[in-house]
Chain A
């Protein structure tokens, strides 16, 4: 299979910079409030402003938490102008290394058992071979969860993301019942997290700080996009399974290579999971064809507790 890949490093750098442009503008515009930053002045980073000028800015302003505090509720709900986030997951490369999960958990301060990103072991039919299936939120364009929310706590943004305002969520869990992909998780207990995170203003873009009695889920890390960074799951993956990017720009990147989104999904016969449900997911899957790893590679070295999850499918597979 021929596949045109744009591996030009300078282009990748440019893309990153461009993604940061918005945040640079925001940071410059609100310098006054940024002055209260507790961070010592460290290194400067160069950014491209919307006018096309290179500006130098203290990297502390790009800090995940510090920066997010200055987004208004309206900005959180509107989304990043001009973007249309999309993800492509290459199933032929996944070996259940679970680095994506670890990266996600760490970034969002989630306890071990609360997985926003899960890896399932799917087997489409009796005779078919099982394959590893990483699953984030699909950020559907016709989201069943958003439809049923009685208080507009979960919403669809113009940049394609489905996020949750956990200041507004009443915890009725209707969205959890409505999501056909079991994406959403609930804070059944008071969530544990570092004190400085707990005291932050809530932000739909990070889902932080988590609140008891509310729903949360994968948010596609728009806070990272504002900084020109890829989501932690994408960066953490050793095999480049996840391609994340912007449909409007028609580019997606897995950190190592940046490719044309439309070409990738055309050439590799991408599909969306359970298309028949009509939810129009923003996550595309490349079929697990010509796989880089045998499926057992993701199973053999797992701790027993995790092995237990996939035992049924795995044993059925061996029995064939």
Chain B
């Protein structure tokens, strides 16, 4: 593979990240593994002792796990939608960030479904989903949709990686033999011939177009697990688009955070520029406004019409003695702050944007919890139960351990993959047949030069 000047520079800069597995990386890897180990022990308890070790009971049948499930599938939108749309629009500045985005997608799509499996009482019978599938069930829709989406995301990520694998293969990297071999296999004989280039381009375009409706389907059917039931707070016609929007929104937030971390970690200010933060900030602001609008109309209609059961849930969510403060937090940190910070030129800076993204992502996680738990705590018939754990849900350490194990897995996979491939795609830069717009040449190339 012949590299042009910029590509060569870019590659040499990132060469150490894939050649060396430093002490710091080891330390982090072990740290994440310890968390996962603790999660593994919690999972063992849950399987051996039954689900009674969790806080879930007959009224609140789902809790943290399903909130995590929605959350992880949500952040997977970073790659699917953001990178897919930017690809279709052929936006040049996307190039340094697409790999991060697509990695988030694939990793989050691996972790998300694990959390719904944690809700399942009989993991030994999972094959029943394929032996006796019922197409009427939204869970079957989910199995189909997430399976397809995962396959699509992996292909999308891989297509963008083939050229780079060829670069690593030919670069005579100082890496173990197995790694060299792996690069050779994964490069599937790519030599950069015109026909190969064309095929990858067409496939990538096709996948970028396909991944967007796929992603929309995934989160819609996910929302319909709730929307299709006769439960107050869930049975809402806007749940599909509401969930999809929340997913893209939180995905953007996680993408900004990941960019910020890599920029700091590898001192890539010249590649992951301020512009990237500002542009993604704009996207986040628009999505935040739309998300705020959905939230407002969802709760306004329930509150205004004040049907008996809806009011019960609304009362729980609004009341300061119950979930009121959390709800306020989701609206301030999840809607107002991101819009304000990006809207005000003075605060429209990478650090501030990354900071609000962090809180926004947490707020959206809390929001998922607020969608699940208060509704399940408000059955249509009065509970009239005296067992406190049946009346009010509170997660046990088992659920928290597995939640943190999920987050640790996310970071661990991210670390491991970023030791296998360069975080900034090499071969995408300054491809000869793709005439870069003046903006790119002006912004990225000189910036890259300057930093070297």
Contact = CB atoms under 8 A, between A and B. Distances in A.
Name the residue among B59, B132, B226 with the largest chain A CB count within 10 angstroms: B132
A151 B121 contact: no
A148 B139 contact: yes
A173 B61 contact: yes
Given A148-B138, A187-B50, A173 B121 contact: yes
A188 B52 contact: yes
Interface residues of B, number: 44
Contact of A144 (B129, B230, B384, B386): B230
Interface in A16-53: none
Nearest to B50: A189
A171 B384 contact: no
B119 A173 contact: yes
A69 interface: no
Contact of B121 (A180, A212, A308): A212
Interface string A158-177: 00000000001111111011
Name the residue among B57, B58, B59, B120 with the largest chain A CB count within 10 angstroms: B58
B381 interface: yes
B380 interface: yes
Contacts of B129: 150-151, 170
Interface majority SS on B: helix, strand, loop or mixed? loop
Nearest to A274: B380
Nearest to A172: B120
Nearest to B59: A182
Contact of B58 (A121, A172, A182, A211): A182
A118 B386 CA distance: 13
A197 interface: no
Contact of A184 (B58, B62, B138, B382): B58
B381 to A, nearest CB: 6
B138 A181 contact: no
B376 interface: yes
Contacts of B57: 186, 188
Nearest to A304: B386
Interface in A297-314: 305-306, 308-310, 313
Given A177-B229, A182-B379, A277-B230, A213 B58 contact: no
B330 to A, nearest CB: 22
A122 interface: yes
Contacts of A188: 50-52, 56-57
B225 interface: yes
A315 to B, nearest CB: 14
Contacts of B228: 147-148, 178
B143 A178 contact: no
B171 interface: no
Interface residues of A, number: 48
B133 interface: yes
A309 B390 CA distance: 12
Contacts of A320: none
A127 to B, nearest CB: 16
Contacts of B387: 113
Given A185-B58, A309-B384, A150 B134 contact: yes
Interface majority SS on A: helix, strand, loop or mixed? loop
A281 to B, nearest CB: 13
A152 B140 CA distance: 11
B61 A120 contact: no
Contacts of A202: none
Interface string B345-376: 00000000000000000000000000000001
B136 interface: yes
Contacts of A215: 121
Nearest to A279: B230
A189 to B, nearest CB: 4
B231 interface: yes
Nearest to B142: A150
A313 B59 CA distance: 20
A213 B51 CA distance: 7
A118 B126 CA distance: 32
B231 A180 contact: yes
Given A113-B387, A189-B49, A189-B50, A170 B382 contact: no
A190 B50 contact: yes
Contacts of B133: 150-151
Name the residue among A150, A152, A180 with the largest chain B CB count within 10 angstroms: A150
A215 B226 CA distance: 19
B386 A149 contact: no
Contacts of B58: 176, 182, 184-186
A177 B60 CA distance: 8
Interface in B15-67: 49-52, 56-59, 61-62
B381 A213 contact: no
A314 to B, nearest CB: 11
A99 interface: no
B128 interface: yes
A148 B125 CA distance: 17
Given A177-B62, A178-B231, A187-B121, 4 more contacts: A150-B140, A186-B51, A188-B51, A190-B50
28 contacts: A120-B382, A121-B384, A144-B230, A147-B137, A148-B137, A148-B228, A150-B133, A150-B137, A150-B139, A153-B128, A168-B125, A169-B121, A169-B125, A170-B122, A172-B121, A173-B119, A177-B61, A178-B229, A182-B380, A185-B58, A186-B51, A186-B61, A188-B56, A188-B57, A211-B122, A279-B230, A305-B386, A310-B384
Interface of B: 49-52, 56-59, 61-62, 119-122, 125-126, 128-129, 131-134, 136-140, 143, 225-226, 228-231, 376, 379-387
**Closest 10 pairs (CB-CB, A-B):** A171-B121, A213-B121, A150-B139, A188-B52, A173-B61, A150-B137, A151-B128, A180-B230, A309-B384, A213-B122
